[in-house]
Amino acid sequence: MPNLSLNSAMRILITGGAGFIGSHLCKRLSEKNEVVCMDNLLTGKKSNIDGLNVEFLEQDITEPFDVNADLVFNMASPASPVFYQKYPLETLETNSAGIKNVLENARKYNAKVVQASTSEVYGDPKLHPQPETYWGNVNPIGPRSCYDEGKRFAESLCMNYHTKYEVDVVLARIFNTYGPNMLKKDGRVVPNFICQALKNEKISVYGNGEQTRSFCYADDLVEGLVLLSEKGRGGEVYNLGNPREYTILQLAEQVKEACNSSSEIDYRGLPEDDPIKRKPDIAKVISETGWNPKVELKEGLSRTVEWFRGVC
Ligand code: UDP
């Protein structure tokens, strides 16, 4: 397989390019490359890519397409629990028929693929922190299964295209990520808390707030994806996330401080199958690509709050 280097201009297809992480990738890569941004705008927003030098194609990846590219980032899929539970069948379709179309297109053009997988493949993990070798603990028929099992199926399809057709595909298991361009109503914890804190409304902590997540700032995550496109080995899986772990209550306090807010905590029911803890083991991506997230939660929240001020 050719060793790709983003130092020379390439033609890059970013599916889900108008979504949260996809739009940051479009921005990062369109400065030096020809970028095609494909999105069906189900949960993405055209305004996320306004002013960027990208070609936009309004297209659902579940419909066949033909786009010549050297490199593909498949970021297409609803990704927040609220949205994938609102669109469960679309989520399953995107992560089965959709990824098949992405892989067929890559096979035709001999393109490398970076597949956006997820920490959700580990479900509610029994092993902590989670290394790539962990097989996970997923409820196959629970409310999160459309996403968890969808992404697990997508990983399997990628691996089998790699083995059978030698498609150069790298799997990136993305852990909780936050930053500008998240939808204020996508239901994830960071936009929820920031919008509540900015309006001095009660902060909705689900359960007792002792469950943990590890939050990676969008710019860091995007650098990780770019490095994986350059140095990631085909047929391999890499965790991408910030290993600094916080309880949801600690996050609420940090958000209050970043917003200078007087909001009180409002404890609500814990959603079914909500993972109790999550923290990536990132030794593999560090040793193979040199990636390491740099932005501390305090700094990342402060940048995110500034962006949300005009949005909430
Ligand atoms: N959460 C919360 N309040 C909210 C939204 C989420 O306490 O308003 C909790 C949720 O129960 C979970 C964590 O925050 O334990 C992260 O949730 P999110 O939806 O952001 O992503 P997940 O990691 O569950 O996919």
Confidence band of 8 (pLDDT split at 50, 70, 90)? confident
**In 3-state terms, what secondary structure has residue 130?**
strand
Tokens 């040199």 sit at which residue?
Answer: 290
H/E element holding 74? strand 71-74
The most distant pair of C-alpha atoms in the chain lies apart, rounded to whole Å, by 57
Q: What are the φ and ψ backbone dihedral angles of 225, each rounded to 5 degrees?
A: -65, -40
Average pLDDT over residues 94-118: 98
Q: Which fold has domain 11-178+217-243+279-294?
A: Rossmann fold (3.40.50)
Instruction: Tell me which of 84, 87, 147, 246 is the catalytic residue.
Output: 147
Write the CA distances from 127 to 120, 196, 247, 285, integer angstroms. Answer: 13, 33, 17, 19
Q: Is the pTM of this model over 0.85?
A: yes
Mutate to test the pocket of ligand 1, among 213, 215, 242, 267 (most ligand atoms within 8 A of CB): 213
pLDDT digits (tens, 9 = 90+) for 198-245: 999 999 999 999 999 999 999 999 999 999 999 999 999 999 999 999
> Phi, psi (5° rounding) for residue 221?
-60, -45
pLDDT, tens digit, 9 for 90 and up, residues 132-184: 999 999 999 999 999 999 999 999 999 999 999 999 999 999 999 999 999 99
**pLDDT recorded at residue 114:** 99
At residue 191, the 3 state secondary structure works out as: helix
Q: Which helix (H) or strand (E) holds 247?
A: strand 245-247
Q: Report residue 251 as tokens.
A: 């996050």
Q: Which two tokens stand for residue 268?
A: 């609500």
Q: Vertex 179, ends 259 and 22: CA angle to 5°? A: 160
CA of 189 to the centre of ligand 1 (A): 5
pLDDT, position 1: 47
Is 217 among the residues known to form the active site? no
Q: How far is the CA of 79 from the centre of ligand 1 (A)?
A: 12
Residues 6+ away with beta carbon under 8 Å from 62? 93, 94, 97, 98, 101
